[in-house]
Structure 1
């Protein structure tokens, strides 16, 4: 039996995380980086961190259903996006909303606070950026501004792709899933405020922003209140979806009150909304049935968003009467795009589980707890680093949830608050990830081909980094205060 050495064990437990961050920062692809780090962690497990059988029996069986749910949600989101892209549904909805906004300035807000987070909340994985940047270019914005605003629209990161990261964080952090969603929603106000104001400033400039500031603040407040209410009433899956719909509704109401006329969507645009309605209505009904008639395990299955995401995706070709051969080709393309995401997600979940069962998370959390309550102010920084490096709040949850939870327990503070701060910070930081910035910039290439100045990646990165710096500075004292008071 190896004698415990807290200093040595802490340094050894840090090595896998530091190596992973370094490899990803050096632009190594996630799969080989994760494999290298898992192999190293396995070596350290054999030398210094033996697996605890009790923890293994508790953690590993519970991770399999979580991993399966996450993967089905991701596949359903990818498939839905492919179908809607194939038939042109997203463009039709975006053009209708842009016209209904009445003014270009309000359209910038509507796309940034409505369209981008709505698509990201349903599909995730940067699709909110894919949907919003072309619409912003159609408004006449420069490629640099369009790319920046598309990224700044990732204001509801923890609820992206119906929030699979919340499932992982609740499981590894040993907290209630619904309560995690509610407390994360409470801590999301700084992200929404900073994101809304940044979208306005980047999109229309200082002078014109003053006339739209009230609308932006009201929209942010409405989004925040809806986000809290939906998480309380129905749990996390639809929190981001309905909050972003609230933003769209309030901005369209402002358009009507300020002289705009109603733009009735045509038949194709209405039909383009059907898959989204299927997802929202069926999931709400399933959750309501589970709440009214508790069914135990079957109720958990019924209320799982994975089922209804697949239903929405596979119903889409029926609404648009796609030929069987074309529908099958979309499934094939989706599987090809889903495969690397699947492997990456599974590896990160496995890595997080390994850190839990071999005691590394506990060792690191004990070291963090030795910093005292000052550690709580560093949680937003940890969340930011995770989101920046992995471009995924799901992956960040797998990496850090167990350690943050253990540290909170060791400090005698509230686990939910600590995990929620990390959740919100990492969700926001996804927009700063180099891979997301590269995606946003790449979406402006058609505009450049038409004679516009190319997007400046350095300026785009500066916009999103500055926004997240402010978010971290706002969350740090909130995290510390929550830890002291709760």
Structure 2
């Protein structure tokens, strides 16, 4: 018990600082210092910390490129009018404000996150939600709430890592995670719809239910047939198409593809088609190892930025200046993400994560609830699906097997909850507020809040935190009901 409590010190430091409203970068720096000191104090040699740094280095470099590329892309599109034209596309395709917001956040934003990952979906969706009528903090909250498919972000990178760490089949873990995602999808989408009421009208019940049902069904089917790599990209597209067919028929003539829209969508089409085609070539063995970089998100986010600049060549000066402003505004948020990623890897490599799982010994029938609780803490602490996937799946699988619980369902529950919990982390909140044009809001007197009903402040942390606890509890109950142990 004492070893588990000592190993939890870095997570306690992070959660405590985050709870009192500290900014993401100071929280990440304090967490990094805490994990290094705790690991060395627990007997890990300095070489272990150095090894964790080297292990996290390549991934961290890739994350920096992807995040900076995402901020530059949205800054360029905002300056060139591309974001405004994409926002108008959703206005033309949906007959009411609520459905439009749903399609932007749960459809377009989640699709971008599933293909690229690392928070780029937030960076792209939040400015569109602001243009559609949501105040910046509410736009941030809605986008965070609708990222229920985070386990499949970056073409399933986190789920693939979790499966490898736990010694499970990636296809089996993806499918199990999809089945267990239903409570989370229902709760988070319902809360997001409630938050959207400030923009005029929340999404109506029929399109809301249709969207969640189709997205979940497509997610399960795609994981079963194709694996976790493509499932996250397929599910939101299927859901948006279903809602558009039901709700958008009368607006079909209004929605049209013109030259400004083609220029605005070209970077995203480049990004999606490039990643999917080269990913398929790599999976089939048709892509030579020397050309493997062509299948990386880094290559295609840079390519999409180049396409965006070429499409806005007539206003190159203002677009480049906007890109520079976006890059400078996002610097601290990007650095915080990198530090949190290192924390996750260091917790795993030093054995601190395995020690924390000692708290689950003797949990008995409550083991699933302990697992989702650890998932919440891991996600909130490291703020990265990849980082959370590197921390606990191995120890969770081992503890589940030793306590007569199903390792696959246990790791799947952890995967789903930890991934969603990253939305409550300091790093993701920092990214969201930076994308909303309010990078300092997380540290002022009313952190990340907007006027609510009756003039009351609506705090992002409070609303998301309650949603997370409810969804995690339902997920734990579902696992306990399916496999009581």
* TM-score (norm: length of structure 2): 0.78
Deviation string, structure 1 residues 216-262 (Cα, Å, up to 9, x no partner): 22221221233344555665565444422222222211124568645
Equivalences for 1:304-323 in 2 at 5 Å?
A: 304-321=296-313
- Residue in 2 aligned with 1:14? 8
Question: Any gaps of 5 or more consecutive residues in structure 2?
Answer: 439-449
Tell whether 2:374 aligns with 1:378.
Answer: no
Please state whether the residue corresponding to 1:458 is helix, strand or coil: strand
2:420·2:468 contact (CA, 8 Å) conserved in 1? yes
Q: Distance in 1 between matches of 2:464 and 2:395?
A: 27
1:28 aligns to what? Answer: 22
1:267-306 alignment, distance < 5 Å: 267-293=259-285, 297=289, 301-306=293-298
Cα distance in 2 for residues equivalent to 1:479 and 1:135: 40
Separation in structure 1 between the aligned mates of residue 32 and residue 251 of structure 2, nearest angstrom: 59
Indicate how the Cα distance of structure 1 residues 128 and 381 shifts in structure 2: closer, same or farther if over 3 A, else same.
farther
Residue of structure 2 in register with 1:471 after alignment: 471
Say if 1:13 and 1:390 are closer, same or farther in 2 by CA, change over 3 A: closer
Contact 2:179 2:220 in 1 (8 A): yes
- The answer to whether residue 132 in structure 2 is matched with residue 131 in structure 1 is no
Q: Distance in 2 between matches of 1:35 and 1:119?
A: 29
1:217 is aligned to 2:204: no
CA distance in 1, matches of 2:304, 2:484: 44
Aligned length: 465
Q: Which moved more, 1:216-225 or 1:406-415?
A: 406-415
Is it true that 1:407 corresponds to 2:399 in the alignment? yes
Q: How far is the alpha carbon of 1:303 from its aligned partner?
A: 3.3
Residue 444 of structure 2 corresponds to which residue in structure 1? none
Shift of 1:458: 3.1
Alpha-carbon deviation of 1:469? Answer: 3.5
Q: Which one of 342, 348, 362 corresponds to residue 340 of structure 2?
A: 348
Q: How does 1:138-177 map to 2 (within 5 A)?
A: 149-160=142-153, 165-166=158-159, 169=162
1:386 to 1:177, Cα distance in 2 relative to 1, 3 A: same
TM-score (normalised: structure 1):
0.78
Q: CA separation in 2, counterparts of 1:311 and 1:442?
A: 21
Q: Distance in 1 between matches of 2:327 and 2:172?
A: 33
* Structure 1 residues 296 and 70: alpha-carbon distance in aligned structure 2, compared to 1, 3 A threshold: farther
CA distance in 2 between partners of 1:32 and 1:57 (Å): 22
Encode CA deviations 1:353-376: one digit per residue, 9 max, x unaligned.
332333222222234233245222
Aligned CA RMSD, in angstroms, stands at 4.1
Structure 2 CA distance for aligned equivalents of residues 102 and 35 of structure 1 = 46
Distance in 2 between residues matched to 1:360 and 1:186, nearest whole Å: 30
CA distance 1:148–1:457, change in 2 (3 Å)? farther
Find the aligned partners of 1:393 and 1:66 in 2 and give their Cα distance.
12
Cα deviation digits, residues 316-335 of structure 1 (max 9, x gap): 21122256655654554454
